[in-house]
């Protein structure tokens, strides 16, 4: 990721909705070295922030709604959550949760693109988002998996003003050419029941070692460590509760 701090239009935060906060704390502490702190306020609903040192890097949350899947989600920073929510609707997406204030931290909304891939909007106030990107244990890339790439391209460039760097095999998203993520077309290798989704990638010092740590801690490797031609070394993992995420070798992306 060529971005090194949250900027308007770019990814600013990753959040895990999980069925077991305690086990998620254990797993990600072992894998990434995260130190997680749960907000003690009842109205915070068990919201837990993971840190690398003193820097916030991601959140772990309970499942707040019936039927909510165990999954990672990606937040994008916006100047005005209400205005952007309107742009989402106008571009063919859906606002799943209308903008709401989160204490004095910021304003938050949940949306989906026209194909159903869910993401969140974050209008920062006291809290901007992740305090570090690209370092081992921190967010470093976000990837959209979709069955409708042309429609997705139109939607995200319209709503967020992203630049597009497309090759024959892969599309990269950016802001003014500063790439922060990509898009992969879901082909027949993906089971029909797997919906379009955003996948966060976290940097690690050693992809093979991280994969071994994840599987030893109760997770699984959905894609074993692979070196992408002219690209990074990556793996796609699943935590013990079923949430999927990627890892890549720090320094290989951006």
Q: Provide Rg for the chain, Cα atoms.
A: 17
**Helix (H) / strand (E) containing 160:** helix 149-160
**Residue 103 backbone zone (phi > 0: left; psi -120 to 50: alpha; other: beta):** left
What is the DSSP-derived secondary structure letter of residue 157?
Answer: H
Residues 168-193 have a mean pLDDT of 90
Q: What is the secondary structure of 195-226 as a DSSP string?
A: PPEEEEEEEES-HHHHHHHHHHTT-EEEEEEE
| Cα–Cα distances in angstroms (integers) from residue 90 to residues 98, 154, 165, 178, in the given order | 15, 12, 25, 26
- The answer to whether position 130 is within a domain reads no
Among 99, 124, 149, the domain-final residue is 124
**Helix (H) / strand (E) containing 47:** none
Among 124, 159, 191, the domain-final residue is 124
144 and 242 belong to one structural domain: yes
- The answer to whether position 133 is within a domain reads no
| Cα–Cα distances in angstroms (integers) from residue 244 to residues 13, 15, 47, 141, 214, in the given order | 16, 12, 20, 14, 12
Judged on CB neighbours under 10 Å (0-12, 13-18, 19+), 207 is buried
- The answer to whether position 144 is within a domain reads yes
Does residue 145 register a pLDDT over 60?
A: yes
**Residue 137 backbone zone (phi > 0: left; psi -120 to 50: alpha; other: beta):** left
108 and 153 belong to one structural domain: no
Query: What is the pLDDT at residue 30?
Result: 97
110 and 145 belong to one structural domain: no
- Closest by CA to 10, choosing from 114, 105, 124, is 124
- The answer to whether position 170 is within a domain reads yes
Q: What is the pLDDT of residues 25-78, one digit of tens each?
A: 999 999 999 999 988 888 777 889 999 999 999 999 999 888 889 999 999 999
The count of structural domains within the chain is: 2
16 and 120 belong to one structural domain: yes
113 and 178 belong to one structural domain: no
31 and 102 belong to one structural domain: yes
- The answer to whether position 50 is within a domain reads yes
User: What is the C-alpha to C-alpha distance for residues 13 and 167, in angstroms, rounded to an integer?
Assistant: 27
76 and 152 belong to one structural domain: no
CA atoms within 13 A on the CB side of 176: 4
105 and 41 belong to one structural domain: yes
User: What is the C-alpha to C-alpha distance for residues 66 and 74, in angstroms, rounded to an integer?
Assistant: 20
Residue 151: domain span: 139-249
- Closest by CA to 165, choosing from 189, 148, 181, is 181
146 and 185 belong to one structural domain: yes
- The answer to whether position 33 is within a domain reads yes
Does residue 253 register a pLDDT over 70?
A: no
CATH of the domain at 159: 3.10.180.10
Judged on CB neighbours under 10 Å (0-12, 13-18, 19+), 90 is exposed
Does residue 128 register a pLDDT over 90?
A: yes
- The answer to whether position 4 is within a domain reads no
Residues 225-239 have a mean pLDDT of 92
pLDDT more than 70, % of the chain? 99
What's the distance, CA 206 to chain centroid?
Answer: 20
């Amino acid at each position: 990721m060529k971005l090194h701090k949250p900027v308007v239009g770019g990814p600013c935060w990753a959040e895990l909705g999980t069925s077991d906060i305690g086990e998620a704390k254990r797993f990600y502490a072992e894998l990434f070295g995260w130190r997680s702190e749960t907000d003690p306020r009842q109205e915070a609903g068990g919201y837990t922030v993971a840190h690398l040192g003193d820097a916030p890097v991601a959140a772990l949350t309970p499942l707040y709604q019936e039927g909510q899947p165990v999954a990672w989600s990606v937040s994008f920073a916006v100047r005005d959550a209400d205005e952007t929510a309107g742009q989402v609707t106008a571009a063919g997406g859906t606002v799943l949760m209308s903008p709401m204030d989160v204490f004095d931290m910021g304003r938050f909304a949940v949306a989906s693109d026209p194909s159903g891939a869910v993401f969140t909007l974050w209008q920062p106030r006291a809290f901007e988002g992740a305090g570090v990107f690209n370092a081992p244990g921190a967010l470093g890339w976000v990837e959209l998996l979709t069955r409708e790439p042309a429609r997705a391209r139109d939607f995200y460039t319209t709503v967020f003003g992203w630049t597009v760097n497309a090759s024959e095999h892969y599309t990269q998203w950016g802001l003014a050419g500063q790439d922060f993520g990509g898009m992969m077309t879901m082909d027949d290798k993906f089971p029909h029941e797997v919906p379009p989704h955003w996948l966060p990638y976290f940097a690690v010092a050693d992809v093979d070692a991280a994969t071994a740590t994840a599987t030893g801690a109760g997770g699984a490797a959905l894609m074993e460590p692979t070196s992408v031609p002219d690209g990074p070394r990556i793996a796609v993992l699943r935590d013990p509760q079923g949430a999927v995420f990627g890892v890549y070798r720090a320094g290989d992306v951006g």
